[in-house]
Structure 1
Amino acid sequence: MGDFNDWDPYAHPMRPQDGLYRVSLTMITDQSACFRYLADGGVWFDDVDADHHDTRGGHLRPTPARPDPDPGLQVGRARVLV
């Protein structure tokens, strides 16, 4: 969860897929996202592979999505896999 969903633990729940928990989001490309993981028992932790960290958590800079047959559909958006 993070600033992109007002730190709501129910907004984007991670689901198990191939033995890993994943979530995929579409975000604005010019905005970094601050996020942390919330584990069972209320334990918070940061992703060591985040682009950078501060006192709020890890930050990711979204990368542009792959080109679509209609490039206008992807303008200003990126997919983030956490």
Structure 2
Amino acid sequence: MISKNYTPKRTVCKVTFSLPEEWANEKVAIAGDFNDWDTSADELEKKDGSWETTLRLKPENTYRFKYFVDGERWENDDDADEYEANEFGTEDSVLVIGE
């Protein structure tokens, strides 16, 4: 699940990414345009039966991303706004943040 919440002045969008606990055994990281695809920059925390993290992103942008699960496989988000082909012959999840 992806939820978007804007700050009062709409200068930041707090995006919460949440995945079911069974998605991973050990860890889940989110990598994308917002962190230069760094698989160690933004890890999801395991809590209350799910994996979750909240990122602060700039509005009026589109971000490509994927989850890196258990240090061995890439997964898309079923709740992404869109999907776009990448140079590896697969697709990336796309997050669209309006104004």
Give TM-score, length-normalised by structure 1. 0.70
- Cα distance between partner residues in 2 of 1:50 and 1:30: 16
Aligned partner of 2:58 in structure 1 is: 28
- Cα distance between partner residues in 2 of 1:22 and 1:61: 19
Aligned partner of 1:62 in structure 2 is: 97
- C-alpha root-mean-square deviation of aligned residues, in Å? 1.5
Name whichever structure is richer in helix by fraction.
1
- Cα distance between partner residues in 1 of 2:71 and 2:35: 21
Q: Determine helix, strand or coil for the equivalent of 2:83.
A: strand
Aligned partner of 1:52 in structure 2 is: 82
Give TM-score, length-normalised by structure 2. 0.59
- The CA deviation at 1:31 is 0.6
Give 1:9-28 correspondences, 5 Å limit: 9-28=39-58
Name whichever structure is richer in strand by fraction.
2
- Cα distance between partner residues in 2 of 1:41 and 1:12: 13
- Cα distance between partner residues in 2 of 1:33 and 1:41: 22
Quick check: 1:5 aligned with 2:35? yes
Q: Larger RCO: Structure 1 or Structure 2 (Cα < 8 Å, ≥ 6 residues apart)?
A: 1
Between the two proteins, what is the percent identity of the paired residues? 33
Task: Give the ranges of 4+ consecutive aligned residues of structure 1 lying more than 3 Å apart after TM superposition.
Answer: none
- The CA deviation at 1:41 is 4.6
Q: Which runs of 5+ in 2 are unaligned?
A: 1-30, 87-91
Q: Larger deviation: 32-41 or 55-64?
A: 55-64
